[in-house]
Chains A and B, each alone.
Chain A
């Protein structure tokens, strides 16, 4: 099975256009981009995919060791991009995928000529002289709330996610629901995501990068977005007229406009 099959890659838009790869964040899947990605299909080759353990990614795609750090997820992005022949493309990452994009760009600088980081945070936990917005115990609390929320379907739904041919009715029900994740994987992804510290990686990336920041983002505060844009040698920041952590859902037009202004420049 190749990387495109493993990660449920969908390619739309102009086959000869510049590649634009959209990477979803923790908690969801490629559906996260359904209001944004289509706006670029006229002149870009648009790529969306699911990370291991999310959406319709193949159950075998997840490897506890490889995905024990964001580098493993970045390696997936590199693998997918190379397989699709991406050169000097645009990477658009939401939330944790922003940092995954930074790592992927560092691993193979040929792949992307521009990075769009939507609601990024290089470190979620406060540190000396740095406000990430959370304490370590906050993150433990998140992991507890994952346990609590996955409890109801961990045993019932997990077999479906693992591909249970004996119970097609469950599969049909799930097909209609978005953002399904393998609970065990999601929990480890949460740990990897929210305990990560990629501040030192930001300065190493020369690729022109755009930070899209919302006001009132409970996960990545404005000060963090500013930190990212200032620390990256070729970073810039656009404040969106949107609240929350997911402008790709809550303010898709503003998100599209900001990305378009950056990539068509």
Chain B
């Protein structure tokens, strides 16, 4: 006849009451060990004897550490014993117990040091949990962690390689012009940024400088950045006028179907006597800053449309001469929008930096200007930064 539920409950409670301390200890669902403060075993329960494979009587008098693997013994001496003395408890330490037949039992160990009335260490109570399956799971986790670490290292290496394709491989050099360039991706520099610049020759005394910013970051943005940079190279060979090049680039991006757009500065420079004839056009980009004779700083041209958004964008051509002593600074918005707390780096700091760094006295002003922006952001710029400066050597005509 089946018991009623109430009767079954009653039977359960009776059994609980009958559980004598002796069998609670001996049959506990974990191994129990008691040792003296130096680790000598004074008492073990049946569960531990069964788990470890040692008869209880053989364990008494041995040191707990002697049951461990050699590696575990070192860990016991260097971590377990010091912590137990200083903290009084040890939690979830992983060890392997070596059974009499040489097989290993992975265990997790909790221990508590009991002190006498005057604070002297008296006995250590140790609970031992069989962790065979957990340890296998942990090993799998460690393997996964190592794999993840390797993948991360690979991804970083790839990002660095990709990043290097977005700027010229060697520092740019144009005969008859002092050129400097600096580039730095946002943050700690591990993600590929969207800024780029390029400086290349297309004829005798005929050079092109491009600088721009593809919206977004990461590999997807880098793909478009590479497309933009190479399209500009191809177009400038065939088309003279910078504004027409930007129109063609706009068509390429719109036709590509990407939802990424970019801002671009395009300059064409022709060496002419001791000065340079410049034509430029801007596509939605902060305008180049021109440092004219006497030190005044002005913008060049008009901003124009973003590139890759509109079917009918507007780009304005601008033509001017850069004479000895004059300079141009091209930069991305990572400079002016650099932030320190609520404070933006802003145009005023950029202008100050230009005054401080551009001139016959500085070898590589772009680097020094960039370091100024990075330092303002405590070493962690929130956006990519690209800066290109050019300066026509010489002091210029004396002002009268």
Known A139-B71, A149-B94: A244·B38 in contact at CB below 8 Å: yes
Q: Is the CB of B94 within 8 A of A245?
A: no
Instruction: Name the contact of B81 in the complex, choosing from A134, A138, A140, A249 (C-beta under 8 A).
Output: A249
Q: Is A194 an interface residue (CB 8 A)?
A: yes
* In the complex, per-residue mask of A86-122: 1 if CB is within 8 Å of any chain B CB, else 0: 0000000001000000000000000000000000000
Q: Is A2 an interface residue (CB 8 A)?
A: no
| 137-171 of chain A: CB within 8 A of chain B | 138-149, 151-152, 154
Find chain A residues with CB under 8 A from B63 CB. Answer: 216, 218
Known A216-B63, A246-B81, A249-B81: A142·B86 in contact at CB below 8 Å: no
Interface residue range, chain B: 20 to 34
Instruction: Name the contact of A142 in the complex, choosing from B75, B93, B142 (C-beta under 8 A).
Output: B75
Q: In the bound complex, how far is the Cα of B335 from the Cα of A35, in angstroms?
A: 56
Stretch in contact with the other chain, from A22-30, A37-45, A225-233:
A22-30
Question: Which chain B residue lies CB-closest to A26?
Answer: B78
Q: Is the CB of A219 within 8 A of B71?
A: no
Q: Is B141 an interface residue (CB 8 A)?
A: yes
Q: Is A175 an interface residue (CB 8 A)?
A: no
Q: Is B152 an interface residue (CB 8 A)?
A: no
Q: Is A238 an interface residue (CB 8 A)?
A: no
Q: Is A223 an interface residue (CB 8 A)?
A: no
Find chain B residues with CB under 8 A from A26 CB. Answer: 78
| 102-149 of chain B: CB within 8 A of chain A | 135, 138-139, 141-142, 145
Q: Is the CB of B95 within 8 A of A244?
A: no
Instruction: Name the contact of B83 in the complex, choosing from A34, A179, A194 (C-beta under 8 A).
Output: A179
- What is the CB-to-nearest-CB distance from B345 to chain A, in angstroms, rounded to a whole number? 24
Find chain A residues with CB under 8 A from B38 CB. Answer: 216, 243-244, 250
Question: Which chain A residue lies CB-closest to B78?
Answer: A27
Most chain A Cβ neighbours within 10 Å, of B63, B85, B95: B85
Question: Which chain B residue lies CB-closest to A124?
Answer: B74
Q: Is the CB of B92 within 8 A of A249?
A: no
Instruction: Name the contact of A145 in the complex, choosing from B66, B72, B86 (C-beta under 8 A).
Output: B72
* In the complex, per-residue mask of B81-104: 1 if CB is within 8 Å of any chain A CB, else 0: 111011100001111100000000
Find chain B residues with CB under 8 A from A31 CB. Answer: 86
Find chain A residues with CB under 8 A from B95 CB. Answer: 145
Q: In the bound complex, how far is the Cα of B145 from the Cα of A151, in angstroms?
A: 10
Q: Is the CB of B73 within 8 A of A218?
A: yes
* In the complex, per-residue mask of A70-84: 1 if CB is within 8 Å of any chain B CB, else 0: 000000000000000
Known A140-B71, A244-B38, A250-B37: A151·B81 in contact at CB below 8 Å: no
Instruction: Name the contact of B85 in the complex, choosing from A177, A217, A250 (C-beta under 8 A).
Output: A250
- What is the CB-to-nearest-CB distance from A38 to chain B, in angstroms, rounded to a whole number? 14
- What is the CB-to-nearest-CB distance from B69 to chain A, in angstroms, rounded to a whole number? 6
Question: Which chain B residue lies CB-closest to A219?
Answer: B77
Q: Is the CB of B82 within 8 A of A28?
A: yes
Q: Is the CB of A141 within 8 A of B77?
A: no
Interface residue range, chain A: 35 or more
Q: Is the CB of B81 within 8 A of A245?
A: yes
Q: Is B301 an interface residue (CB 8 A)?
A: no
Find chain A residues with CB under 8 A from B141 CB. Answer: 151
Q: Is B39 an interface residue (CB 8 A)?
A: yes
Find chain A residues with CB under 8 A from B85 CB. Answer: 246, 249-250
Find chain B residues with CB under 8 A from A130 CB. Answer: none
- What is the CB-to-nearest-CB distance from A207 to chain B, in angstroms, rounded to a whole number? 26
Q: Is the CB of B78 within 8 A of A148?
A: no
Question: Which chain A residue lies CB-closest to B106?
Answer: A148
Q: Is the CB of B93 within 8 A of A149?
A: yes
Question: Which chain B residue lies CB-closest to A25?
Answer: B78
| 179-217 of chain A: CB within 8 A of chain B | 179, 194, 216-217
Q: Is A36 an interface residue (CB 8 A)?
A: no
Q: In the bound complex, how far is the Cα of B77 from the Cα of A25, in angstroms?
A: 11
Find chain B residues with CB under 8 A from A57 CB. Answer: none
Find chain B residues with CB under 8 A from A144 CB. Answer: 71
Most chain B Cβ neighbours within 10 Å, of A140, A218, A245, A246: A218
Q: Is B70 an interface residue (CB 8 A)?
A: yes
Q: Is B76 an interface residue (CB 8 A)?
A: yes
Q: Is the CB of B94 within 8 A of A141?
A: no
- What is the CB-to-nearest-CB distance from A165 to chain B, in angstroms, rounded to a whole number? 14
Q: Is the CB of A134 within 8 A of B70?
A: yes
> Nearest 3 CB-CB pairs, A to B?
A141-B71, A27-B78, A138-B70
Q: List 29 A-B contacts (CB under 8 A).
A: A27-B78, A31-B86, A95-B78, A134-B70, A135-B70, A138-B70, A142-B70, A143-B71, A144-B71, A145-B71, A145-B96, A146-B75, A147-B142, A148-B94, A148-B142, A149-B75, A149-B93, A151-B94, A178-B82, A218-B76, A219-B73, A219-B78, A244-B39, A245-B77, A245-B78, A246-B81, A246-B82, A249-B81, A250-B37
If A177-B87, A244-B77, A245-B81 are given as contacts, then 18 extra A-B residue pairs at C-beta distance below 8 Å, sorted by A number, are A25-B78, A28-B79, A138-B71, A141-B71, A142-B74, A142-B75, A145-B95, A145-B96, A148-B94, A151-B94, A178-B87, A243-B39, A245-B77, A249-B81, A249-B85, A249-B86, A250-B38, A250-B81
| Chain B interface residues (CB < 8 Å from chain A) | 37-39, 63, 65-66, 69-79, 81-83, 85-87, 92-96, 135, 138-139, 141-142, 145
| Chain A interface residues (CB < 8 Å from chain B) | 25-28, 31-32, 34, 95, 134-135, 138-149, 151-152, 154, 177-179, 194, 216-219, 243-246, 249-250
